[in-house]
Amino acid sequence: MAQEFHLRLITQRAAGGDPIIRERSIAGPELTIGRATDSDIVLSDLAVDPHHAKLRFAGPGRVTLESVGGAPFLLNDRSTQRVDFNVSGDPVAAFGDYRLAFAPGEDGGAVITVTREEHEHHPSPSIFSLKAPVFGRRNMAWGLGVGIFVICLLVPLIGTLWLSQAKIHPDQQWSSGPLSKAHAFLENDCKACHAKAFVAVRDETCLSCHKAGADAVAEATILARSSDGGSPFEPRLIAEHAPHNKLRIATPLPDAIGPKIGAVVQRALNHPTDRCASCHLEHTKPEKTGDPVTEPLLKDKPTLVVVQDCESCHSKLKMRLQKTELIDTPDWGRHPTFRPLIMTSPAGAKPTFQRLQLKGMPLERNGLIFPHKMHLDPLGGVARQAIVLGKSSGYGAALECASCHTRDASGTGFKPIEMEKDCASCHSLAYARDGAGRLKSLPHGELQKVVDTLNGRSVSASSVSDRLRPGTIRPTAFAANGAGAWRATFSEGGACFDCHTITWAGDTVQMAPVKLTHRYMPRGAFDHKVPEHGGPGKSKAGGFECVDCHKANLSELTSDVLIPDIAKCASCHGKTEAQTKAADDADCTTCHSFHAPGKATPPPGYPPLETLRWTQAVARRGAGA
Amino acid sequence: MTQAGGHTGRVRQRTHEGFLRHKGFRWAFVATGLSVAAVGIYFVVALQLSEPPSGGSWIGYTLGTMSAGLIVWLASLGIRKRAVSDGHYSLKAWVSAHVYLGLSLTVLATLHTGFQFGLNIHTLAYGLMMLVIASGGLGIWAYSVLPHRLSANRGEVTRRQMLDNIASLDAQLQETAQPLDRAGAAIVRHSIEDTEIGGGFWQRLTGSYGNCANKQALSSLRSLPNSGPDGEILAKIETLMTQKVDALALARRQMRITALLEAWLFVHIPATFALLAALIAHIVSVFAYW
């Protein structure tokens, strides 16, 4: 029997179930394969050529498969156009979707099983939905969420909690706004201020650069610390106007309900509202320049926010601070009358003071004998002396305040009175002439040196008047009968006797110490520079001269306290311009600064940041300011 | 709206009220009230505060807490919508509240910022929130306009029928093309095998199918000489391919409208997750560096 091809054509049912198998045999030696209906094996796939290949026997159990039109086919998944093969090795040829599986047949023939691979894809209606394989909703959601969580929270948090000296600063993305210029050098170093995570910035952090020291050494240490830390500016060293625990107790909750609840909640959550950072805010919005081209301007200094004003604490103070001596000052109209510090004794290293009300006419004991009235009397001997001294000596007319009281560099106050400078023009300390004819003066202020200088000296009395011009030696200075010159100096008619309180213990001279008050009210500021306060420049109508406040021209006693009471201030402050042209504000800050109550509150932005550069700061200190 | 209920002759009374009009705009009023109150408090009270406006003032904390709570609640719609229930807290009520309270966040959170913006995590959280709300706004537009278009395009044909129609045309092409030679068959195969009904994300959204395989096949087919013995077959195939062009266009229009209906969610959902992460980072960082 000749070799033949036994075909098994397997067709899957569309509805499923057992496939349909049709079998037939084709006598060798050759058969055709193609899409054309006249082919021996019809493969109705458009990928198959109408006459694609021929198959013929090439020996027992061996066949040759060859392309007709040059179109390739697969044998065992390898593309080819002609191939001889043995049918016993279960070879499989593929044309399009069709698989021709070979197997040995009877008498060296071949069995060819023809199947069609159904890989037709029937799309389901779900393809109408929008899908993005890579950037799908779920992928993007988790990717972005986890990414932001890690980059914006986890990495900076780990850096904050465990890595203190990192070179990169991932926590900078947490900064809610730029620092002011003053603190800009700390921009990359969040932990300079935010020392502990989840703990509000504490005062100790601020004070590590800004604490006013107890002495110059402590302050120099603090300043050096800022300089070493990279600050281009000298930090302002500040103190508090009362012990911090007292301030804390004395401060009431804010009045308005919102801020009140806010304060209670913040305090409960370890975010105290009495910290430096409660009032001095950083990371605020930069100022707009109004010019869209230029960058917004950084603020020079942290934004100051007045959380509580003076009145809010200084009202009903005794309800919160049981032991305070401070008198409540709810407003300017109820400001207590002045209680200046009056020197009750100048003796000892530290003179003693007492706060006394002015209306009680307190007496000051400063150790000096100095009647202001005598010196200011325009018709008196002092005036005559001044006229005689003439303009060339800085006088030439009756004395006025400025003849002795010289303004200090700021103009706000006055230099301390110095005997040699302010009195000696008239009150000569000369006691002899040297070889060149120059006058020799007694050393003022040092009792023992005076005694030593004059010891053993004896000067014969002169008959000329004792009232001599300065620069001459006053005869009575040494005129004590038969006594030593120094004894005469300290006795009635002697150079020291008129102004100093002198007592004798046997042969030993004793002089009451003299200490002159520089400021009667060190917790308040008064600016003598203001024209309306008698300062230079043109005053508004209603402004004052010295004598309007200081009744020195009527004062016969050294113990008179010559400062006015608050009523004098109130004649302008708190008044309207209709009442006086010199009317002015009645703010606490005019006379009291929060951090330095003895000074006026500096105007906003004062001192300008640039003046705090180290070079300028050093120059300023060099100039003694 | 009254609809005749099909051939049974029964009449069903059905009043459809969308999520926007739910309970007579109840949540629109709530959200508007909330926003107006916030603006009022901000401009009356907060501007009297001594400190510059920021999230750190008492009103800042209040608005921030409200906003954060709202964001978490709004995001929980994703969980809520998976649990079907009805009654007072129906999903429609949730969606209605979601939409209006979500819109009110633009007011609350903006006031919370105190108009202080910068390149930082805080502004990132704000920006993401606005992105979520803006994409949600697109969603509102899509849901109020597109279902009608979808229905109009579909006519009486279901989506399944659209696909079956194309599959049937493919089968007919396959069948008709059997006698063709290799070149003709290749053209028909190109139409059958390479035609993508939907296409990618942007293709669906823009509806541009210039390189459609069926269209290319049709063009190639027309360039074949049709005077030969296969002329009749080619003419038939051309008819089938032209029908397929129409069938594809219908399905693709449906897909494009569906894509527009769903596209906003590709921003809304990922941006929401990003926002939740940024929100946590914002809150934790603020208190870490208090």
DSSP per-residue letters across A156-180:
HHHHHHH-SS-SS-GGGGG--SPPP
Contacts of B287 in chain A (CB under 8 A): 198
- A285 pLDDT higher than 60: yes
Structure tokens at B214: 């069926």
The 10s digit of each residue's pLDDT in A196-220 is 888 999 999 999 999 987 788 888 8
Interface membership of A131 toward B (CB under 8 Å): yes
Residues 254-273 of chain B whose Cβ lies under 8 A from any Cβ of chain A:
254-255, 258-259, 262-263, 265-266, 269-273
pLDDT tens across B177-189, in order? 998 888 889 999 9
Angle formed by the axes of helices B231-288 and B159-176, nearest 10°: 140
Residue A162 predicted with pLDDT over 70: yes
pLDDT band at A459 (very low <50, low <70, confident <90, very high): low
Residue type, A321: L
Q: Closest residue of A to B175, CA-based?
A: A44
CA angle A555, A560, A562 (to 5 degrees): 80
Higher pLDDT, A610 or A119: A610
CB A82 within 8 A of CB A64: yes
pLDDT digits 0-9 by tens, A107-131: 778 899 999 887 666 778 888 888 8
Asked whether the beta carbons of A555 and A562 are under 8 A apart, the reply is: yes
What pLDDT score was predicted for residue A291? 66
Residues of A in contact with B251 (CB under 8 A): 128
Cβ atoms within 10 Å of A122's Cβ, excluding its own: 7
* pLDDT of residue B12 exceeding 60: no
- Give A-chain residues touching B124 at CB under 8 angstroms: 148, 152
Pairwise CA distance, residues A564 & A500, whole Å: 27
Using the beta-carbon criterion (under 8 Å), do B201 and A307 form an inter-chain contact?
no
Which positions ≥6 away from A170 have C-beta within 8 Å? A151, A155, A156, A159
Contact A71/B192, CB-based, under 8 Å?
A: no
Q: B52, A305: Cβ pair inside 8 Å?
A: yes
Sign of the Cα pseudo-torsion (B259, B261, B266, B267, in order)? positive
> Quick one: average pLDDT of A20-44?
89
Q: Which residues of B touch A69 (CB under 8 A)?
A: 182
> Residue B89 has what pLDDT?
64
pLDDT over threshold 50, residue B9? no
**pLDDT class of A464 with cuts at 50, 70, 90:** very low
Q: Region A185-195: what's the mean pLDDT?
A: 89
Which of A516-525, A591-600, B227-236 has the lowest average pLDDT?
Answer: B227-236
DSSP SS3 for A93: strand
- Cβ–Cβ below 8 Å for A130 and B259: yes
Q: Do A153 and B280 touch (CB under 8 A)?
A: yes
What's the mean pLDDT in A410-438? Answer: 84
3-state SS assignment for residue A56: strand
What SS3 state is found at A500? strand
B7 has a pLDDT exceeding 70: no
For the stretch A84-115, pLDDT in tens is: 998 888 899 999 889 999 998 887 788 999 99
pLDDT recorded at residue B181: 87
Flag if B115 and A177 touch (Cβ within 8 Å).
Answer: no
CB–CB of B112/B71 below 8 Å? no
- Residue A503 C-alpha from the chain's centroid: 59
- ipTM value, please give it: 0.85
Contact A369, A501 (CB under 8 A): yes
- Distances in Å between the Cα of A66 and the Cα atoms of A3, A34, A52, A73, A99 are 18, 12, 9, 9, 16
Q: Which of A407-411, B188-192, B228-232 has the lowest mean pLDDT?
A: B228-232
pLDDT tier, A474 (very low <50, low <70, confident <90, very high otherwise):
low
CB-nearest partner of B177 from A46, A128, A147: A46
Q: What is the pLDDT of residue B207?
A: 84
CA distance A414 to chain B (A): 38
Residue numbers of A between 17 and 56 with CB closer than 8 Å to B: 35-37, 44, 46-47, 49-50
Going by pLDDT thresholds of 50, 70 and 90, the confidence category of residue B47 is low
Query: What's the predicted TM-score (pTM) here?
Result: 0.77
Residues contacting B229, CB < 8 A, separation 6+? none
B90 lies within 8 A of chain A by CB: no
pLDDT of residue B41 exceeding 50: yes
Indicate the residue of B45, B188, B262 with minimum beta-carbon distance to A46: B188
How far is the alpha carbon of B197 from chain A, nearest alpha carbon, in Å? 9
Nearest one of A238, A233, A184 to A211, comparing CA atoms: A238
pLDDT per residue over B242-288, tens digit each? Answer: 999 999 999 999 999 999 998 899 999 999 999 999 999 999 999 99
A470 pLDDT band, cuts 50/70/90, is: low
Torsion angle (degrees, nearest 10) of CA B122, B125, B130, B135: 170
Residue B77: which residues within 8 A CB-CB, separation 6 or more? B94, B95, B98
Taking the CA of residue A265 and the nearest CA in chain B, the distance in Å comes to 9
Which chain A residues contact residue B158 at CB under 8 A? Answer: 125
Query: DSSP string covering A307-319, please?
Result: SS-HHHHSSSHHH
Q: At what angle do helices A155-162 and B231-288 cross, to 10 degrees?
A: 20
By C-alpha distance, the chain B residue nearest A138 is: B270
Q: How far apart are CA A420 and CA A194, in angstroms?
A: 56
Candidate from A22-31, A58-67, A613-622, B235-244 with smallest mean pLDDT: A613-622
Residue among A576, A579, A585, A581 nearest A541 (CA): A581
For residue A98, report the phi and psi dihedrals to the nearest 5 degrees. Answer: -90, 145
Confidence of residue B104 (pLDDT cuts 50, 70, 90): very high
Give the residue ranges of DSSP H helices in A49-200.
137-148, 155-162
Residue B8 has pLDDT above 60, yes or no: no
**Contact at 8 Å (CB) between A161 and B288?**
no
Q: In b/e form, how buried is each residue of B197-235, taking b as 16+ CB within 10 angstroms?
A: bbbebebbbebebeebbbbbbbebbeebebeeebeebbe
Contact A125 B185 (CB under 8 A): no
A positions 59-78 inside 8 Å of B (CB) = 69, 71
Whether the predicted pLDDT of B147 surpasses 60: yes
For an interface test with B, which of A49, A152, A171, A270 has the most B Cβ atoms less than 10 Å from its Cβ? A152
In this structure, is the dihedral angle defined by the CA atoms of residues A30, A31, A34 and A39, taken in order, positive or negative?
Answer: positive
pLDDT band with cut points at 50, 70 and 90 for residue A165: low
Contact A36 B188 (CB under 8 A): no
Contacts of A606 (CB under 8 A, 6+ apart): none
- Strands A502-505 and A508-511 turn out to be antiparallel
pLDDT at A63 over 80: yes
Q: Among residues 174-203 of chain B, which lie with CB inside 8 Å of chain A?
A: 174, 177-182, 185-186, 188-189, 192, 197-198, 201
Mean pLDDT of chain A: 86
Chain A, chain B: beta-carbon pairs less than 8 Å apart: 184
Quote the pLDDT of residue A566.
94
Residues of chain A numbered 345-404 and touching chain B (CB < 8 Å)? none
Residue carrying structure tokens 């992928």: A139
Task: Work out the average pLDDT over A574-603.
Answer: 89
A302 in B contact zone (CB under 8 Å): no
Q: Do A174 and B160 touch (CB under 8 A)?
A: no
Inter-chain residue contact B189 with A46, CB threshold 8 Å: yes
Contact criterion met (CB < 8 Å) for A125 and B160: yes
Q: pLDDT band at residue A293, thresholds of 50, 70 and 90?
A: low
**Torsion region of A112: left, alpha or beta (phi above 0 gives left; psi -120 to 50 gives alpha):** beta
pLDDT value at position A257? 83
Q: What is the spatial distance between Cα A598 and Cα A519, in angstroms, rounded to a whole number?
A: 10
Q: How many helices (H) and strands (E) does chain B have?
A: 10, 2
